Structure 1
Amino acid sequence: MYIYFFETLLYLSFAITAGYLALEFISSRFKPEVHVPARMIQLAAIGIPVFSFASIVRTSVILMDFAPQMSFAEVLLIVLNDYSFGRAWIMSFILGSALFMVISFNGLKHKSLKGVAAGIGVCLVLVHGYASHPAALSKTWGLPAQTIHVGAVSVWLGILILVAWFRKGSWNWKAFTRWYTPLSIACMALIVIAGFVMMSIIVEVGYISSWGINYGEALLLKHLLFIPLILLAFMNGFLTKIYANGQNERRLQSWLKAESLIALFILITTAFMGNQEPPHETESEEPVPSPLFKLLHADLNDLSLQWQWNMAGALCMAMGLISFFLLFAAYRKNKMGLFTICTVAAVLFPFLGLLQSVS
């Protein structure tokens, strides 16, 4: 379980670092007044290599089963020297340490330091993309797709987190949404495009056929979580202009926090996916059905799944659709509790309905 925790913290470190660096290039007239503890930014920068080291440790522990005569330190050195993701971590450690020192030096008050810090941040994302599973399968498409995906998520989510949780003064809401809304749309488009590219590389057996294993179910859950996230981002970006024009600061900040929390669950799901075996057509062993899939389809052994509607699946989808439309009413009436319940229902009912509708 620890690996999922550290992987989630890794994505949060990327987001906080990218959000902080992006806001540093925006004039104070065009952004909310954000007061982020300097220590948190420093920890986020150094947290990128620190939290990514968990996967190095995990690999070393697994390899020790094949070389019981070797010590952990010896296996660790082999991973760092002979594996591409091990060498990538060494570069990540160097870059993360450099970024930590640059950020710590006078808080990026000098314009030249902002450019240096941004360049290091871009390199960190590139190194992470190089060490990723999509890049291992395809340097041509996997490396750029993973890099763009992580970069776009980090910039969009990082700004959102800092504004939602650390805004202490003026909103400058109109000026802020004038550039952040199109930036969010562009990031979302890049996230979706890069996500489909990575899915075509990793999920070779087909999207529906992957639902029988942990990786495919987590991927489906991640996609369903994006639906209320995009809806809430739309309402925060556009409906606030219609209802309150960004003047109800407490309400607005609460909904931005809610948006960031949904994104956090997506990061947790992504962390889980990153440590599951993806489905490949070339695997010699038969994929193992997930516990949830066994519960729903106890008599089904063949995981070459196909679409087949049934009453239970249709009812779950209908409940999910009703819950989805209730999100609008909950947002307009500022009912955070109702919105939370409807969000859970709008995700879990279609999730179970889709899993029940395959055979």
Structure 2
Amino acid sequence: MFSIAIFSEPFLYLCFSILIGSFLMQLIPSSHRPDFSVQKGVLMSAIAGIVIFSFFPVLQTILYLYEDIGFLSTLQSVLLGFTIGKAWIVTYLVSNVLFIYIIWFDYRKRHLNSLVGLILTFILILLLGWSSHAASIDDWKGFLIHSAHFTAISVWVGILIVVSWFSTNYSNWLKFLKWFTPLAAACFMVTIVTGLLLMNVVIDYSDYTNSWILPYGQSLLIKHLLIIPLISYAFINSVLIRRSILKDPTFNPIPWTKAENLVIFLIFSATAVLGQQEPPHEIEITIASSGISSLFDLFYSGNITKESIILLGFNLNAVILCILGVLFLILSVMTYIKRAPAFIGFMMNILSVISYYLALMISIQ
């Protein structure tokens, strides 16, 4: 069940992004975006995916509790008595309304149809925020922060997914970049700010390095390191691609936006793993209950106790790895400049993340 839950969450994010991106892009004048085609069947599959993938946390709760009172009684109790269950029931009902709406009304024919679809999808995002871990800890504050965080991600990533995988051409790309670049930058800033606030709900900032001892902290670190190649792709897909199209109007930018999508999916996957770990509200207690991370144990040979404090002391090997990380990052940009395949640039970015990760791990004292 653990592995299924990890599998389901990235695809839940993907389903939301496809819906948000499709409805938003349809509201943009055709002269300011490339032509695209997201069929009704894709949107209907995304809605079905939201219902299915959002049920996995509910099922996980049921399987954790059912041995005491039986499966059916636990199912009824979780669906009707737990916030996560009640939120899923409303999610199921709203998803059915949106599913039927997509069948009856073609979002591609009228802007109003897209707007209604967008509103219904936003309601589903609010329901996800209602059942989130942050909301269970800090009620309204957690609900609002999680909803803002997820909305910003869905808008940014959704548009990127639509232009990357559903565009029928790459015309009007400069006009598209003119409005999408500032929008993506704003969404990125909201994501960073709300992400830091969400992290503080679970863990104190001063305990960030100490959390690396735990599986939760390791997942959080990897997620944060993956932001580095994301920034690299943001630079390529905004500044450099703009210059390339000005020099050559026939230049195809889509392979590079697809590579950015792959990095985002890795971040989604890291977030999914993060959601399945025990949150370290009290690191000492969490170490005692769930043990240390196997990844951390691989690099650290000292003894770990409840009172252990993680300090960083960079040595020669760590400095060399940091330099390698920078070089791989530069090479990822050079692969674009030299018109090498986008996959090579993607691998350079991944090697950069691995280098930074290893540098941090071998610096632990």
TM (normalized to structure 2)?
0.92
Distance in 2 between residues matched to 1:266 and 1:28, nearest whole Å: 31
Q: Does 1:131 align with 2:137?
A: no
Q: Is the 8 A contact 1:323 1:345 kept in 2?
A: yes
Aligned to 1:150: 150
Q: What is the CA distance between 1:121 and its match in structure 2?
A: 1.2
Aligned to 1:29: 31
Residue number among 322, 333, 353 corresponding to 2:359 in the alignment: 353
Aligned to 2:346: 340
Structure 1: gaps spanning 5 or more residues: none
Aligned to 1:268: 269
Distance in 1 between residues matched to 2:86 and 2:251, nearest whole Å: 46
Distance in 1 between residues matched to 2:350 and 2:176, nearest whole Å: 30
Aligned to 2:301: 298
Amino acid at match of 2:185: I
Distance in 2 between residues matched to 1:187 and 1:322, nearest whole Å: 28
Q: Does 1:316 align with 2:321?
A: yes
Distance in 1 between residues matched to 2:285 and 2:261, nearest whole Å: 41
Equivalent positions of 1:161-180 (< 5 A) are: 161-169=161-169, 171-180=171-180
Deviations 1:166-216 (A, max 9, x none): 111352112211111111011001100101111111123621111111111
- The more displaced of 233-242 and 12-21 is 233-242
Distance in 1 between residues matched to 2:134 and 2:265, nearest whole Å: 22
- The more displaced of 241-250 and 312-321 is 241-250
Aligned to 1:12: 14
Mark the CA change 1:248 to 1:2 in structure 2 (over 3 Å): closer, same or farther: farther
Q: What is the CA distance between 1:354 and its match in structure 2?
A: 1.1
Distance in 2 between residues matched to 1:248 and 1:356, nearest whole Å: 47
Structure 2: gaps spanning 5 or more residues: none
Aligned to 2:225: 224
Q: Is the 8 A contact 2:24 2:114 kept in 1?
A: no
Aligned to 2:216: 215
Amino acid at match of 1:206: D
Q: Is the 8 A contact 2:229 2:350 kept in 1?
A: no
Distance in 1 between residues matched to 2:362 and 2:303, nearest whole Å: 12
- The more displaced of 52-61 and 197-206 is 197-206
SS in 2 for 1:245: helix
Q: What is the CA distance between 1:268 and its match in structure 2?
A: 0.8
Mark the CA change 1:259 to 1:248 in structure 2 (over 3 Å): closer, same or farther: farther
Q: Does 1:86 align with 2:85?
A: yes
Q: Is the 8 A contact 1:211 1:355 kept in 2?
A: no
SS in 2 for 1:298: coil
Q: What is the CA distance between 1:312 and its match in structure 2?
A: 3.1
- The more displaced of 318-327 and 12-21 is 318-327
Q: Is the 8 A contact 2:134 2:198 kept in 1?
A: yes
Distance in 1 between residues matched to 2:145 and 2:169, nearest whole Å: 37
Distance in 2 between residues matched to 1:333 and 1:169, nearest whole Å: 23
Aligned to 1:279: 280
Mark the CA change 1:115 to 1:337 in structure 2 (over 3 Å): closer, same or farther: closer
Deviations 1:271-330 (A, max 9, x none): 111111111128745252111111111323134322222333222222112211222211
Mark the CA change 1:354 to 1:248 in structure 2 (over 3 Å): closer, same or farther: farther
Q: State the superposition RMSD in angstroms.
A: 1.8
Equivalent positions of 1:44-83 (< 5 A) are: 44-65=46-67, 67=68, 70-83=69-82
Amino acid at match of 1:159: I
Q: What is the CA distance between 1:115 and its match in structure 2?
A: 2.8
Distance in 2 between residues matched to 1:2 and 1:227, nearest whole Å: 28
Residue number among 39, 42, 45 corresponding to 1:43 in the alignment: 45
Deviations 1:110-166 (A, max 9, x none): 443333222211111111111111111112432111111111111111111111111
Q: What is the CA distance between 1:248 and its match in structure 2?
A: 5.9
Distance in 1 between residues matched to 2:72 and 2:296, nearest whole Å: 39
Distance in 2 between residues matched to 1:250 and 1:57, nearest whole Å: 48
SS in 1 for 2:55: helix
Mark the CA change 1:157 to 1:247 in structure 2 (over 3 Å): closer, same or farther: farther
Q: Is the 8 A contact 1:240 1:246 kept in 2?
A: no
- The more displaced of 99-108 and 244-253 is 244-253
Q: Is the 8 A contact 2:13 2:268 kept in 1?
A: yes
Q: Is the 8 A contact 2:259 2:343 kept in 1?
A: no
Deviations 1:96-120 (A, max 9, x none): 1111111222312344333322221
Distance in 2 between residues matched to 1:238 and 1:299, nearest whole Å: 46
- The more displaced of 92-101 and 243-252 is 243-252
Aligned to 2:234: 233
Mark the CA change 1:164 to 1:319 in structure 2 (over 3 Å): closer, same or farther: same
Distance in 2 between residues matched to 1:282 and 1:162, nearest whole Å: 41
